[in-house]
Amino acid sequence: MRIIDFLKDEKAQSEFSSLYMLIVLVIAALLIITLVKPMFRQSQKIVSKTVK
């Protein structure tokens, strides 16, 4: 019964939702970094080739 009461509590729900939002933001940031970083490396190689 205590778990059900805890899940019905609005404060607990808001804490869980903020925790999930934080986890989602961290995962999104990691995905963006892993996708954007190689693109910048590739563009730096292209720029260094065109400058020479």
Q: 20-29 pLDDT, tens per residue?
A: 889 999 999 9
Question: Which one, of 12, 14, 18, lies nearest residue 3 by Cα?
Answer: 12
Domain of 7 in residue numbering reads as 2-51
Q: 1-52 pLDDT, tens per residue?
A: 576 776 666 666 667 788 888 999 999 999 999 998 888 888 777 777 777 6
Contact 30, 24 (CB under 8 A): no
pTM of the model: 0.55
Structurally, how many domains does the chain consist of? 1
Residue 46: predicted pLDDT: 79
Q: How far apart are CA 39 and CA 32, in angstroms?
A: 11
